[in-house]
């Protein structure tokens, strides 16, 4: 189990209005874009407050309006929720120079939207009820997903982490909102203890938001326990997903 330093205090500050509001239904019942945009209580106001209090390096990528509209419609969450706000108002969010990437509607530096990345993984067509929803990932090849029942019968509506050193989905006991707060304010060095190789900051300069690092020996093997003794190369994040979830 990984350590989420100080996260209980963070969770107590969250209100019911910060839930994801995720209710993807079958396609014939999908809501129109206008029904998903909330101008009276925009969730982005909450996200900006979290951003102001960030202790990690947070970069909010600008959105492309057309991509944002398409991504919000396909995901079917309202902009009153932090998830909907991040999808509609941002191209994604980079944490600590791109070590961790939170999916939004896509940007040239993070060129995949949340629904684009999930299609073919958690669902096949927009409007289907996903059993989980991939919401973020890191350069190690670790994936963060909102559990809809497909990852575990427990922790529905909470974030799970696919750990590249165990090849298992681990419960983080965080809602989506609490997860975003943790990305902004949590102790990521503690969470990634022993996973940051020597010189990783320099390597981050060459890794785009559609790539991740591949290690050999694999991190989940006995031989791959010391990350500094592993060879590594930059590969498409899709390749890492395919290898990890096979």
Determine, yes or no, domain membership for 113.
yes
> Mean pLDDT in each 10-residue stretch from start to end of the chain (246 residues)?
46 38 55 94 97 98 98 97 98 99 98 97 88 98 97 97 96 98 98 96 97 97 96 98 89
Domain count, the chain: 1
pLDDT number for residue 12 = 37
Prediction pTM value: 0.90
Is the dihedral angle over the CA atoms 191, 15, 102, 166 positive or is it negative?
positive
pLDDT number for residue 125 = 87
pLDDT number for residue 132 = 97
What residue numbers bound the domain in which 134 lies?
7-244
Determine, yes or no, domain membership for 175.
yes
pLDDT number for residue 127 = 80
pLDDT number for residue 29 = 81
Cα angle value 23/30/126 (rounded, 5°): 85
Can you tell me the distance from the alpha carbon of 101 to that of 43, in angstroms, rounded to the nearest whole number? 19
Cα angle value 31/32/35 (rounded, 5°): 80
Determine, yes or no, domain membership for 114.
yes
Determine, yes or no, domain membership for 148.
yes
Determine, yes or no, domain membership for 121.
yes
Are 147 and 141 in contact, with CB atoms under 8 Å apart?
Answer: no
Q: How many residues does the chain have?
A: 246
pLDDT number for residue 245 = 84
Determine, yes or no, domain membership for 129.
yes
Determine, yes or no, domain membership for 11.
yes
pLDDT number for residue 24 = 39
Determine, yes or no, domain membership for 212.
yes
Q: Concatenate the DSSP letters of all residues of 21-79 into one string.
A: ------GGGPPPHHHH--SSS-HHHHHHHHHHT--S-EEEEPPPHHHHHHHHHHHT--T
Is the dihedral angle over the CA atoms 202, 91, 114, 178 positive or is it negative?
positive
């Amino acid at each position: 189990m990984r350590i989420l330093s100080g996260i209980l205090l963070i969770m107590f500050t969250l209100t019911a209005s910060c839930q994801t509001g995720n209710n993807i239904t079958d396609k014939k019942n999908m809501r129109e874009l206008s029904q998903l945009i909330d101008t009276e209580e925009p969730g982005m106001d909450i996200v900006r407050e979290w951003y102001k209090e960030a202790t990690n390096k947070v970069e909010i990528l600008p959105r492309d309006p057309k991509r944002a509209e398409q991504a919000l419609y396909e995901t079917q969450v309202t902009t009153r929720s932090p998830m909907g706000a991040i999808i509609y108002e941002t191209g994604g969010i980079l944490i600590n120079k791109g070590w961790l990437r939170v999916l939004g509607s896509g940007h040239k530096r993070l060129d995949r939207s949340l629904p684009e990345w999930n299609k073919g993984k958690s669902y096949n067509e927009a409007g289907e009820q996903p059993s989980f929803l991939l919401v973020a990932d890191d350069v190690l090849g670790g994936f963060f997903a909102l559990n809809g029942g497909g990852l575990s019968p427990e922790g529905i509506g909470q974030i799970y982490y696919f750990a590249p050193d165990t090849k298992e989905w681990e419960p983080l006991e965080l809602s989506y909102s609490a997860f975003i707060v943790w990305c902004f304010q949590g102790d990521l060095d503690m969470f990634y203890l022993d996973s940051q190789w020597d010189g990783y900051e320099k390597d981050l300069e060459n890794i785009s938001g559609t790539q991740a690092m591949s290690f050999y020996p694999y991190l989940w093997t006995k031989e791959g326990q010391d990350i500094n003794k592993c060879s590594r190369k930059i590969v498409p994040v899709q390749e890492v997903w395919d290898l990890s979830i096979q």
